Structure 1
Amino acid sequence: MPAASPTSSVRNPENRASIKRLTREHFALYRGYLDGVSVEQLHATYGDATTDVRATRRLIGLLRDTLSGAARRTRDVEATHLLRLRPGSIPEAQRLAASEMPTLEAYRESVDPDGFHSEAELLELYRAEFPQENTPSVDRRTTRNARLRRRQVDALARMEASLVQAPRPDHPVASWLEPSIAHRLQNTGIHTLGDLLGFIERRGHRWYANVARVGPKAARRIVEWLALHADSLLHMLSKRALTPRRRLSSNDPALVRPRQSGIVPIESLDVPTEIDGSAGTNRLRNPGLPCPMSTDLQAIDAWLATRQHSPHTARAYRREAERLLLWAVNERKKALSSLDSADCTEYIGTFLADPQPAARWVGRAKIERNHPDWRPFVGALSNRSRETAQAILHAMGQWLVAQNYWGHNPFSNAPAVAIGPRIDVSGRSLNHGQWQNVVQAACRVQYSQRELRDYLALNLAYSTGLRRAELARATTGWLTQSALGSGPANGWQLVIPGKGRATRTIPVPQAVMELVEESLRARGLPGDPGVCPADTPLLTHFRTGNSLTPDGMGQVFRRLFSWAALLSTPQNPVGDRARSNASTHWVRHTHSHHALESGADCREIQLRLGHANLSTTLLYVKAGHHGPVVNGKSGVLPTR
């Protein structure tokens, strides 16, 4: 029994009159005891680190009583006697000789492995080398004891074959694991070994973080014990459940879920043949207009393959197609190609507004697609999100009709979603006083590397109006110098790549460039962005030096706004909504409002923000003003 086997009967036997479940670990422990291994060594190998050697000594006594009692009940008189003999009752041959005299067989193997000497010659050599110990009585005792030891080993093997039990998925955790650990697992809702296996698979390698007072060492022992009994438990823990996610590449086979029905990601969905779309009521039945796609899954895959404009766009399109397909198959019990206008209207108007049953459709945010707890929703969709979903699905329907897969587009007659203004200009930006609080909260006399990175992120976002993903992707290669007017000074510009060949150019204030140079030097790089490799990120993780993800960038700004809330004043409060909801888009809105209030032209702001339509930019125009303009310039932070 390895150290990773914290069975309750092994760990705390003193509270039991007998052992309810005898395992192979028990027999391994008792076999070592009969072989003469010290109790201290047995405790180090098989005992619990939270107990002392007395617990293992008590367990050995309990095993002796349990095994001999079981042998007595089966009328195995020999085993009853042999298994109660203590170490030393059957001494080995070497224990009889002060000079550690070997047996005759061991002597023959060491001096005459090829059998050159006869039996008489070998015995004469043996007695000549060990004259004191080699007597007929010693030989007889050695033979008798060796035979007795073999009988004892055979008796223990017989008892093991008839009594040993293996853990099963339906066994309670309390019957196998240490009582204190089992109690903590039960408090978490884990009552059987099957529950424990499922919990670890769902939570991953840090599953123990969700169990009070179970640390990584205890978790490792439990996992190793489960692996030891994987055959009887009928489950081997997956690589995904045992390996930190950062150590698995995105295409690692361990991250691929098997094909199955139910609420699962589209790449793992197994659709029954009768509703896979091959016989859908909306399929175009015209032999003269062939279609290479046979099922709804194939049709969705083909459509998504044509919509790879950007990772963000691809995710949005896949998400909406996936949700509709799952709803059709699991709720409507029909193929995607059998949905009619009434189905589509109910889906957009009712289901997306409140996905029910929530336990089936709604899950926690930030769960990977390969995780068993993944769900297609994290909550009800807003009117704006439902409008977007309807637009995407309508476009998918038009494409499927054009490809001769659908006979008509069922989303064509779906009523439009009633929505308000596209941009909440009044509730998602800060006035100048509030913005000063945010700047003051991020400003330091002496910066750590992370504080400097955060202050640069705040400056860069406010002075350029970049989106969160653009801030995360920004590199020194995006920075270019251009002559300002006819003077000798050179100014910096940020050239942001867009879809296709579309780019936009934004001037970067000198104060922000000074922060960029200081941040590069703090990371051990040349201060001149033009000297750095073009793929050097402007904003990085302060420990790893890798580019921040968009989510990581969002965490930076949430932390900055939390600091600002601590410095807010009655005149310029940074309210609870800003503290809990503020994001990079708040800074983008604030940048636009302040720039427009300072007299910047709407078309200039449109180009700077990358809006496709001027009407979107005009939504930023407000009837009133926030207050005095910062430095009298648009989109420029006050310097330190």
Structure 2
Amino acid sequence: MGVAIAAETDELIAQFLDRLWLKQGVSKHTSSAYQTDLRNFERFLSSHQRGSLLSVHATELEDYLLWRRQQGLSPRSTNRALSAIKKFYQYACSERLCAFDPSSRLQRPKQPQSIPHSLSEAEVDALLQAPQVDDPIQLRDRAMLEVLYASGLRVTELVQLTASQVSMQQGLVRVIGKGNKERLVPLGEEALDWLQRYIREARPQLLRQPCDWLFITRRGGPLTRQAFWHRIKYYAGQADIRSHLSPHTLRHAFATHLLNHGADLRVLQMLLGHSDLSTTQIYTHVARERLQQLHAAHHPRA
């Protein structure tokens, strides 16, 4: 691809992402992923001499999906790439940059439904107690872990919390989720107690200058998602937790444990901020498996 064509493509993708952010409020992570997906598609077109983004037909898109399958790329990543491509051509057609949408009839690859890994209640308790709370950083981490397990927030939502989003009096946190959608989530007494202790004892020691970020580093700024994920892994090691961990481990545990204790699926959907109930229903498989294990362990005729 020539330098001039590459620059035009980059500008076109940037304009599309700007429009997407204005209309749908996508996160930086999603925007970056879409940018990568579109550039990968453009590289495929260039290396296979299939034209440019604005000159393809459905055949080229079908060949690209086939090529991804031959490369062993997962259906999940291909679905995301196809989502980026479809949104791009919807934008291109609306701006009359192309005469038709070549992606309109493409079907998303079917992907197996992955069951999220969770922790037992005993493992969660061990993880929460791992931080040594006489240290301000570890007291901050204890408060973060407690809030995470009490609310089921995404890690990104947690690290981006500001003090003004939390109502101590009402025991609620106002969360800004995907697509800039807001939801109110209760925290519970235990999480509120640790949060108040962190704000009273640890946060003033970490604060370098006035800021509204709730959870801050030694430099007085907000944590990154990756930094807090490393903290979770560290405490899992301290607690000798050998179960599979992911950045959303406590979110999965929150959802599973609520269902195990009788929570309604619709309520759980609202708490997690899922736009589609089918996304929430995956946790019923985890909860059902756990109930079967409990039945097998404790019923006299199991």
TM exceeds 0.5? Answer: yes
Tell me what 1:432 maps to.
121
Q: Distance in 2 between matches of 1:589 and 1:270?
A: 46
Stretches of structure 2 lacking an aligned partner (at least 5 in a row): 295-302
Kept in 1, the 8 Å contact 2:215–2:222? The answer is yes
Higher Rg of the two aligned structures = 1
Kept in 2, the 8 Å contact 1:596–1:621? The answer is yes
Q: Structure 1 residues 436 and 502 mapped into 2: Cα distance closer, same or farther (>3 Å)?
A: closer
Q: Distance in 1 between matches of 2:213 and 2:9?
A: 41
Q: Distance in 1 between matches of 2:180 and 2:81?
A: 27
Tell me what 1:470 maps to.
157
* Alpha-carbon distance, 1:519 to partner: 1.6
Tell me what 1:315 maps to.
32
Q: How many residues align?
A: 284
Tell me what 1:509 maps to.
188
Kept in 2, the 8 Å contact 1:592–1:620? The answer is yes
Tell me what 1:494 maps to.
173
Kept in 2, the 8 Å contact 1:349–1:417? The answer is no
1:558 to 213, 220, 233: 233
* Alpha-carbon distance, 1:387 to partner: 0.8
1:349 to 52, 66, 70: 66
Over residues 181-200 of structure 1, what are the superposed CA-to-partner deviations in whole Å (9 max), with x where a residue is unaligned?
A: xxxxxxxxxxxxxxxxxxxx
Q: Secondary structure at the match of 2:280?
A: helix
Kept in 2, the 8 Å contact 1:299–1:400? The answer is no
Q: Structure 1 residues 303 and 524 mapped into 2: Cα distance closer, same or farther (>3 Å)?
A: closer
Q: Structure 1 residues 470 and 597 mapped into 2: Cα distance closer, same or farther (>3 Å)?
A: same
1:305 and 2:18 are equivalent in the alignment = yes
The one-letter code matched in structure 2 to 1:339 is V
Deviating more after overlay: 311-320 vs 587-596: 311-320
The one-letter code matched in structure 1 to 2:258 is A
1:447 and 2:134 are equivalent in the alignment = yes
- Which portions of structure 1, spanning 4 or more consecutive aligned residues, are displaced by more than 6 angstroms? none
Q: Distance in 1 between matches of 2:149 and 2:203?
A: 26
Q: Secondary structure at the match of 1:408?
A: coil
Q: Distance in 2 between matches of 1:523 and 1:353?
A: 53
1:547 to 219, 222, 226: 222
Kept in 1, the 8 Å contact 2:50–2:56? The answer is no
Tell me what 2:268 maps to.
605
Q: Distance in 2 between matches of 1:321 and 1:350?
A: 15
The one-letter code matched in structure 2 to 1:404 is R
Kept in 2, the 8 Å contact 1:353–1:386? The answer is no
1:418 to 93, 96, 110: 110
Q: Distance in 2 between matches of 1:300 and 1:546?
A: 31
Stretches of structure 1 lacking an aligned partner (at least 5 in a row): 1-260, 262-268, 277-294, 355-379, 482-489, 527-531, 569-573, 629-640
Tell me what 2:97 maps to.
405
Q: Secondary structure at the match of 2:3?
A: coil
Q: Judging by fraction of residues, say which structure has more helix.
A: 2
1:621 and 2:284 are equivalent in the alignment = yes
Q: Secondary structure at the match of 1:518?
A: helix
1:456 to 143, 155, 165: 143
Q: Structure 1 residues 502 and 304 mapped into 2: Cα distance closer, same or farther (>3 Å)?
A: closer
| Higher RCO (C-alpha under 8 Å, 6+ residues apart) | 2
Q: Structure 1 residues 499 and 324 mapped into 2: Cα distance closer, same or farther (>3 Å)?
A: same
* Alpha-carbon distance, 1:501 to partner: 6.8
1:329 and 2:46 are equivalent in the alignment = yes
Kept in 1, the 8 Å contact 2:55–2:98? The answer is no
Q: Distance in 2 between matches of 1:443 and 1:456?
A: 10
Q: Structure 1 residues 592 and 500 mapped into 2: Cα distance closer, same or farther (>3 Å)?
A: closer
TM-score (norm 2): 0.82
Tell me what 1:537 maps to.
213
Over residues 60-104 of structure 1, what are the superposed CA-to-partner deviations in whole Å (9 max), with x where a residue is unaligned?
A: xxxxxxxxxxxxxxxxxxxxxxxxxxxxxxxxxxxxxxxxxxxxx
The one-letter code matched in structure 2 to 1:520 is I
